[in-house]
Amino acid sequence: MPSDGDSFLPRIQSVFYAVFDNSLGPTIVYQVPEGLIAVPPPNANTLATPVTEQFAPIEPPGLTARNSSTSLVSPSDARPTSRSLYSPQKRSGSSTRFLFNFDDISKYVIPQSQLCGRLVTCSTKRHRIIGFPVQLKGKYQRNYLRYNLCFVFERGADLSCYEPVVRKVSRVLTACEEESEFLSSPNTSPAIHAILEQLYEDLNSYAETSIPIDRFNSIELKIFPFYPNPPPVKDWMVPLALINLDKRIEANWDLTMVKVCRHIDGVNHVSRIAHLADCDLALTRLAISHLLYYQVIMTIDIFQYSNMYTLRKNIQTLAVEADVKEECGPYVTKPGKPIPDWPQLLHLYSRLKPGKTVLEWMVKHEIHELGIDVRRFTSFGVIKGFLRRVHRWPVLLPSEPGTPVNEPKRTRVNSLSGWAYSPSPVVLPVDLSPSQILLRGRAPQTAPVVPSLSPDLASPPMPLSPRPTPATVSAATPGRTRRASAAEKVLEQLRNRDIQKTGGSPRTSWIQYTDPTIGITATTPTPQDSPIRAVGGTSQSRRQSLSFLPANPPPSPVLAKATISATLTPSRPTLSPSVSTTTVPRNGRESTPFPKELLPLLDGEHHTDELAVRFEAGWPLLEQWLMAIGGGEGPGDFGRVAMIYR
């Protein structure tokens, strides 16, 4: 967000109350502070108190109590007033001590009836006057009463936050006048001066005020600082707390907000938060957008090992910034590991390029040996603003003559075909990454997760055994009404396992090394995905070697507590062979089915995070779909689908 607007509220230079005088025309009746606005010398007696005599203290009966508070504040007020007196003096010699001449603007302050009932802001050379002229019909001499209570500000002030205030003051005064002729009766109208005083002092000092006027009416005002609207929240955005939200949650908060806040950890994306919190997606978006509005969170991208990043321009200044330098190492290094020096980290950042996945980068630079937590590493750059996510934007090209559409040209199915979306029972590669499951957020609560799956998870040979068929899956999730796809079912199980693994508690202690200075309060223990998903297109052997990578963060305490942790982690190396075996029977299969709704979205305007969240399919699955759509020849080749990185 650009210059996050000055949260300083503009200072009121002057408040004045003007009426249409029957003989004089537009006249200022009272102004606070006195004499700042030049008015023509009063040469006729009017029903209003002449400006020069404004000090005549007329205490209306109902206002004494309030006035005590006024007098309390007034000393503090004297200084700024005098200051505002001087500034015009310096510049213009002619209108020495006045802000401006009332005559200049009187036609906008007490305008003709067409302008009454509208918020009118007019400007002089150095000031801006905002008011809400009102015309009331009634038993007045001219059959109407026109008045206006105006606020004067510096010319450059942003008055957005005062607009509702001006409207409300005018509304209350109108009500008072209509009920008891508060403004027009000579008995009560002098009270307006006191109201002006209090408005001027309270709003400038406290930005709020409460002015009782009569038994029924009072002016209750609070000025809220102005924030610009936040950018629209997308389902694939990952909110990241900038303050400790937990501490701020109060019992009377909106229920959705409370639920949503609990899942803001810098890892979960909006759609997943909605499912985790069991909230409607639209309401979740609204809640996130609300937090964004108050600038207590920011959004980053979904971390996946298949992500790509690139440097942004401001690396050139941020690279030498002391706080970036000092925070980076401690933040991105896993606990207990030596902290790499900044030049080394900088070098690693500089090697993140479009077209190169984080995983490839990790392999190349042997990140695992450095003890760097890659998710934190990338998000640090994104948060600080020198790193930018490069998205994949698939485009489906029109078929060229001679190329069969959607016909799989490959006979050899690569090892990943196990990921294929298929209506038939799928044998699953075991190493399904958690993040895929994260991506297809379905509320975990909808399924009785733990009981149904724990036996499965507890068995060490699980990875080698064929995964349960859809039938078992549906049995495991009885409450579900809609079955979207087989892929979903498959993912469902894995997600369940994931839930098991994370133990449902997003906070674990390996987060505790969060560097407080960065102001990121939340992190999660689990990596968004395991190496395998990014391997998408790489060869089997590569993959095998990768699966040994400690790309996952160190086992979290939670993991250790969970019963399955022992079985899960060591089982990984044994997975690769199993994957290859599972692929064997699939050789010669037809192309992978894909949702038809995907096709129109391949126009280069939707990136893969968006598609992944929308179709609840992780990148490896999406990659399969895209390959099937494009008729690509395997890893990295999407055929007619052009994959633009930007």
Partner 1 sequence: MSETLLAILLVTTSAKGSTLVYRWPPSPAASPRFSRAKPDVALSRFHIDNPWRASHPSEGLPDFPEAHDAEHEWKRPARERSRSFSSAGSPSSSGRDSPKDIEYEHLFGYSSEFLANLLCPQRSMCHQKFELLVDDLAFIGHPVSAEEDGAWRFKQEKPKPAHGRGDRGREARVRKDSQTDRESSASPPRPASSEKQPATWLQRFHFVLVLDLPDPSSSASGNVTKYFDIIYEQIAFPVAAVLFQGQVLSNFVEQECDILGSLKDSCSAKGNEFSSYMIQALEASSIAPAMKTLYEAIKSSSVAYMTLHDLPLELQLPPYLDVLLHSEEEQEADLLAPSDDDDYQVWGQEMSFGYRLPSLTAWKSLILLDDGPEDVDPYANLRTSLIGTGDRTLVDGLIKFLETATMSLSLAEMASLLDWDLETQVFPTVRWLVHHRRAKVVDMVHSGLKTVFTLPAQFDAPLSELTAEFNKQFARSGVPPLPRLLVAISTSSSKENDTHFFASVVKTKELLPLYRDVVLWMLKRDMLITLHLRIRIVAPVHLKERVRHARSKKGSGRKHSKLRNQLDPSGEVFPQEIAWLSLSPKSMRRHARLPSVGGSRNSRLSELILDESGDSDSRREEENGESQDELENGSEDENEASMINDPGRATPLQRRWLSAMSDGKDPVIARRFEQINQYFDGKKTDDEILYRADMNRRELREVLLEYNDYLLTFLHPS
Identity of the residue, 125 or 248, whose beta carbon is nearer to partner 1 in the bound complex: 125
Based on CB atoms, which residue is closest to partner 1, 105 or 176?
105
**Region of 14-22, 43-51, 131-139, 199-207 interacting with partner 1 (CB under 8 A):** 131-139
Smallest separation, CB 581 to partner 1 (Å)? 33
Confirm if 608 and 391 have CB atoms less than 8 A apart. yes
Rounded least distance, CB 354 to partner 1, Å:
6
**DSSP 3-state of 173:** helix
Cα–Cα distance measured from residue 245 to residue 263, given in angstroms and rounded to the nearest whole number: 10
Task: Report in angstroms how near the CB of residue 344 gets to partner 1 at its nearest.
Answer: 7
Q: Which is nearer to partner 1, 356 or 589 (CB)?
A: 356
Distance CA 214, CA 211 (A): 9
Tell me if 443 contacts partner 1 by CB under 8 A.
no
Of these, 137, 409, 412, 483, which contacts partner 1 (CB under 8 A)?
137
Choose which of 46, 67, 69, 121 interacts with partner 1 (CB under 8 A). 121
Which positions ≥6 away from 583 have C-beta within 8 Å? 413, 414, 415, 416, 417, 418
Distance CA 156, CA 71 (A): 30
Tell me how far apart the alpha carbons of residues 585 and 605 are, in angstroms, rounded to a whole number. Answer: 37
Q: Does 142 bind partner 1 (CB under 8 A)?
A: no
- Footprint of partner 1 on residues 327-386 (CB under 8 A)? 341-344, 346-347, 350, 353-356
What lies within 8 Å, CB to CB, of 120 at 6+ separation is 108, 109, 111, 130, 131, 132, 133
Kindly give, in sequence order, each residue whose CB lies less than 8 Å from that of residue 357, ignoring residues fewer than 6 positions away: 305, 306, 307, 308, 534
**Helix orientation angle between 575-583 and 540-547, rounded to the nearest 10 degrees:** 150
Site for partner 1 in 502-531 (CB under 8 A): none
Judged by CB under 8 A, which stretch of 516-524, 531-539, 587-595, 636-644 contacts partner 1?
A: 636-644
From the number of C-beta atoms within 10 Å of its C-beta (0-12, 13-18, 19+), residue 140 rates as middle
Residue from 116, 152, 546, 575 binding partner 1 (CB under 8 A): 116
Residue 531 has a CB neighbour count (10 Å cut-off) of 28
Contact 449, 442 (CB under 8 A): no
Q: What is the C-alpha to C-alpha distance for residues 578 and 362, in angstroms, rounded to an integer? A: 25
Cα separation, 527 vs 444, in Å, equals 18
Q: Using CB under 8 A, pick the residue from 83, 97, 107, 337 that binds partner 1.
A: 107
CB of 143 to partner 1, least distance (A): 10
Q: Does 136 bind partner 1 (CB under 8 A)?
A: yes
Q: State the Cα–Cα distance between residues 159 and 226, nearest whole angstrom.
A: 9
**138 contributes a contact to partner 1 by CB under 8 A:** no
Does 644 bind partner 1 (CB under 8 A)? Our answer is yes
Q: Does 50 bind partner 1 (CB under 8 A)?
A: no
Residues 6+ apart with CB under 8 A from 77: 33, 200, 201, 204, 205
- Asked whether the beta carbons of 264 and 522 are under 8 A apart, the reply is yes
Least Å distance between CB 284 and partner 1?
11
Is 124 or 454 the residue whose CB approaches partner 1 more closely? 124
Q: Of 59, 103, 179, 220, which one interacts with partner 1 (CB under 8 A)?
A: 103
Q: How many helices (H) and strands (E) does the chain have?
A: 25, 16
Calculate the alpha carbon distances from 467 to 54, 261, 383, 451 in Å: 88, 35, 39, 17
Q: Is 204 in the site for partner 1 (CB under 8 A)?
A: no
Q: Please tell me whether residue 2 binds partner 1 under the rule CB under 8 A.
A: yes
Stretch that binds partner 1, among 26-34, 486-494, 573-581, 601-609 (CB under 8 A): 601-609
242 binds partner 1 (CB under 8 A): no
- Closest contact distance (angstroms) between CB of 512 and partner 1 is 25
Q: Is 216 helix (H, G, I), strand (E, B) or coil?
A: coil
154 binds partner 1 (CB under 8 A): no
Contact status: 228 vs partner 1 (CB under 8 A): yes
Least distance in Å: CB of 570 to partner 1?
34
- Report yes or no: 192 and 17 within 8 Å, Cβ to Cβ: yes
Smallest gap, in angstroms, from Cβ of residue 643 to partner 1?
Answer: 6
Our finding on whether 229 is near partner 1 (CB under 8 A) is yes
Q: How far is the CB of 171 from partner 1 (least distance, A)?
A: 10
Residue of 85, 242, 395, 566 that binds partner 1 (CB under 8 A): 395
Q: Which of residues 266-295 bind partner 1 (CB under 8 A)?
A: 280, 282-283, 286
The residues pairing with 26 across neighbouring beta strands, listed in sequence order, are 20
* Region binding partner 1 by CB under 8 A among candidate stretches 15-23, 389-397, 410-418, 428-436: 389-397
Element (H, E) at 390: strand 387-390
In sequence order, the β-bridge partners of residue 222 are: 208
Distance of closest approach, residue 121 Cβ to partner 1, in angstroms = 4
User: Is residue 178 within the footprint of partner 1 (CB under 8 A)?
Assistant: no
Give the integer Cα–Cα distance in Å for 617 and 601: 15
| Strand 120-123 relative to strand 134-137, pairing | unpaired
Nearest-approach distance from CB 44 to partner 1, in angstroms: 21
Q: Which stretch binds partner 1 (CB under 8 A): 2-10, 181-189, 246-254, 448-456?
A: 2-10
Is 69 near partner 1 (CB under 8 A)?
no
The nearest distance, CB 421 to partner 1, in angstroms, is: 24
Q: Tell me which residues in 291-320 interact with partner 1 (CB under 8 A).
A: 308, 310-317, 319-320
- Shortest distance (Å) from residue 113 CB to partner 1: 4
**How many residues at the interface with partner 1, by CB under 8 A?**
79
